[in-house]
Amino acid sequence: DQQVKQNSPSLSVQEGRISILNCDYTNSMFDYFLWYKKYPAEGPTFLISISSIKDKNEDGRFTVFLNKSAKHLSLHIVPSQPGDSAVYFCAASNTGNQFYFGTGTSLTVIP
């Protein structure tokens, strides 16, 4: 049972434009969400997080939005750069216990 879903396996965006990666979850008890970025042959690295008391968190070019009523979060990257090309995983947990990860979205930023 996939509690965290990323329905778009891949996304292509022109350099300089906005990348929007989406994630849906089913468990209303999740209260902490994060995004990881993964390059080939490397482990995932932490990108940005958001707790359920917020609806937006921003860090430089990266912004995460949380819509609790829709059980949906999204990651916006503006402007997109070729170095952002990677697989992005969203994850959710209930008070920092086991994290449930999505299946990932492969982002390609075209120069």
Q: Does 12 bind another protein (CB under 8 A)?
A: no
Q: Does 60 bind another protein (CB under 8 A)?
A: no
DSSP secondary structure of 35-48: EEEE-TTS--EEEE
Q: Which is nearer to another protein, 53 or 111 (CB)?
A: 53
Residue choice 49, 52, 74, 108 for contact with another protein (CB under 8 A): 49
User: 86-93 and 4-5: which strand pairing?
Assistant: unpaired
Q: Which is nearer to another protein, 62 or 99 (CB)?
A: 99
Region 72-101 residues binding another protein, contact defined as CB under 8 A: 89, 91, 93, 95-101
Half-sphere exposure of 56 (CA within 13 A, CB side): 4
The maximal CA–CA distance of the chain, rounded, in angstroms, is 40
Q: Does 41 bind another protein (CB under 8 A)?
A: yes
Single out the residue of 19, 33, 30, 1 nearest to residue 87, CA to CA: 19
Residues near another protein (CB under 8 A):
2, 4, 6, 32, 34, 36, 41-46, 49, 89, 91, 93, 95-104
